[in-house]
Structure 1
């Protein structure tokens, strides 16, 4: 299952709720303000283990728009809109965490 998170960890606890809920086959895609969690030294340490497993993605356009391209944490994969569509197709079901 694909889980999208569009809120910053500084705004809501959506990311933590998502991480607490997902199973071992799920992946997370950070979009909109959710990409703030992809930056190093944020409250995103909850993503470290999942990112090391290759299960965390961030939307490149949103990362660029927020000026954090050079600050993306290790193991978080950046995808463009085509990559976003590929993730939706690959995982079949998407859940949005607002």
Structure 2
């Protein structure tokens, strides 16, 4: 399953759900990219998710919010729109969290 996270605020139960299947992937888009800040309140949650599954972030959404790659948690894949499409092709089931 591809989990598409686009809105804030996030909740701890969401992160509990994300860590349950190593075959799942996550892409963070829109306003949710601010939760990826290395010094932010959600950094520990993202580190736990990254230990179990692939997490990507849409590059244009980082750029639009003035967030540099060095400011976000380590281990993320930064993708363009083509990479987002590739993720949707790789996962037949998608769930949008908003």
TM-score bracket relative to the smaller structure: 0.7 to 0.9
Contiguous gaps of at least 5 residues in structure 1:
none
Q: Which residue of 1 aligns with 2:80?
A: 80
Return closer, same or farther for 1:4/1:73 CA change in 2, 3 Å cut-off: same
Q: CA RMSD in A?
A: 1.6
Q: How far apart are residue 54 of structure 1 and its match? A: 5.3
How many residues of Structure 1 are paired with residues of Structure 2 in the alignment?
94
List runs of 5+ in structure 2 lacking aligned partners.
Answer: none
Matched residue, 2:25: 27
2:59 aligned with 1:60, yes or no? yes
Deviations 1:3-60 (A, max 9, x none): 011113xx342xx333222322111110001111221111221110322455111110
Q: Does the C-alpha gap of structure 1 residues 54 and 25 become closer, same or farther in structure 2, counting only changes over 3 Å?
A: closer
Give, in whole Å, the separation in 1 of the partners of 2:37 and 2:30: 13
What is the TM-score when the length of structure 2 is the normalising length? Answer: 0.84
Secondary structure at 1:37 match in 2 = helix
Contact 1:54 1:76 in 2 (8 A): no
1:18 aligns with 2:17: no
Report the Cα distance in structure 2 between the residues aligned to 1:71 and 1:19, rounded to whole angstroms.
21
